């Protein structure tokens, strides 16, 4: 239990002028661990995710990451080239809206292949084969490899975005409301797929969601945010079944039971 975390964030604060995005947040994530960040709209969860993923400059705080070579680096000290390489290989980022994470005008196969080419793969046949394999892993029929994402349903686009992210075998994936805009049945399929992939690949993931059922299904630990601060944290089922903070109790009590 003492091994070093994959990612450590210390005292992260992000302000937008006088507005607080998130304030003084520290967390660790270990290999193979799924952390859910929950809270309502405006609670700062997406701001926190973007700060962790280096997509948004922090006002204060630091994020360090154990690189593939075993060295732990302060991410503020990476060169631009190192930062881009990290984001293209060892990290993934799954957006709520697949259009934000896909290149909508190129084929499904090219969407997956692009990340491979970015890390130096040049063999067309192999890239296509890998793309094909990943399409089947996310349950998209191989015959759709040359179709553009514009011809895909919302659920398929989201699965394609996941394939595009996972093709380089990242160790850490950031997800922002990955099941957000999907129908319930499509959501269930995606969740099951994500659960399976996280498990098989021993991925670490940080998942932002406002849906407590998604958090329960996917995550080991969770963080509850309100007004930019962390108000409760712990084992996912402990937080959901024995919530302490008044706001967490309100969230849990507000779930509709079927």
Partner 1 sequence: MSERILLRLDNVSKSFTNHLRGAVHLPVVDKVGFDVAAGEIVILGGPSGVGKSSILRMIYGNYGIEFGKILMRSSLDSQFVDLAAVSPREVIALRRSTIGYVSQFLRAIPRVSAIDVVAQPLRERGTNADEARDLARALLTRLNLPKALFELPPATFSGGEKQRVNIARGFATSHPILLLDEPTASLDAENRAVVCAMIEEKRENGTAILGIFHDEEVRDRLGGRIVDVSTFSARKAAA
Residues that bind partner 1 (CB under 8 A): 1, 30, 33, 188-189, 191-192, 195, 217, 220-221, 234-235, 237-238, 241-242, 244-246, 249-250, 253
Q: Which residue number, 188 or 201, has a Cβ lying nearer to partner 1?
A: 188
The β-bridge partners of 13 are 60
Q: Which residue number, 12 or 217, has a Cβ lying nearer to partner 1?
A: 217
* CA 155/CA 120 separation, integer angstroms: 30
Least separation in angstroms between CB 196 and partner 1: 9
Q: Which residue number, 66 or 221, has a Cβ lying nearer to partner 1?
A: 221
* CA 147/CA 140 separation, integer angstroms: 11
* Nearest partner of 206 among 16, 80, 25, 29, judged by Cα: 29
Q: Strand, helix or coil at 107? A: coil
What is the CB-side half-sphere exposure of residue 159 using CA atoms within 13 A? 26
Least separation in angstroms between CB 185 and partner 1: 9
* Nearest partner of 24 among 65, 61, 63, 64, judged by Cα: 61
Least separation in angstroms between CB 37 and partner 1: 15
Q: Which residue number, 93 or 247, has a Cβ lying nearer to partner 1?
A: 247
């Amino acid at each position: 239990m003492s091994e070093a975390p994959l990612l450590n964030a210390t005292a992260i604060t992000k302000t937008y002028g006088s507005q607080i995005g998130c304030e003084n947040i520290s967390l660790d994530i270990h290999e193979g661990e799924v952390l859910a960040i929950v809270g309502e709209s405006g609670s700062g969860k997406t701001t926190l995710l973007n700060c962790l993923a280096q997509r948004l400059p922090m006002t204060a705080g630091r994020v360090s990451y154990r690189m593939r070579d075993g060295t732990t680096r302060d991410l503020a000290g990476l060169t631009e080239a190192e930062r881009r390489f990290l984001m293209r290989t060892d990290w993934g980022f799954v957006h709520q809206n697949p259009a934000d994470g896909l290149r909508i005008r190129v084929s499904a196969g090219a969407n997956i292949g692009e990340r491979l080419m970015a890390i130096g793969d040049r063999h067309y046949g192999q890239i296509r084969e890998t793309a094909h394999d990943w399409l089947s892993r996310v349950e998209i029929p191989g015959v759709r490899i040359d179709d553009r994402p514009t011809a895909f349903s919302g659920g398929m686009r989201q699965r394609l975005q996941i394939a595009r992210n996972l093709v380089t075998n990242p160790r850490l994936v950031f997800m922002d409301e990955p099941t957000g805009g999907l129908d319930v049945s499509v959501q269930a399929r995606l969740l099951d797929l994500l659960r399976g992939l996280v498990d098989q690949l021993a991925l670490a993931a940080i998942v932002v969601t406002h849906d407590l059922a998604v958090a329960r299904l996917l995550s080991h630990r969770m963080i509850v945010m309100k007004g930019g601060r962390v108000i409760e944290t712990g084992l996912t089922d402990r937080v959901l079944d024995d919530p302490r903070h008044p706001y967490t109790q309100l969230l849990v009590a507000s779930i509709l039971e079927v």
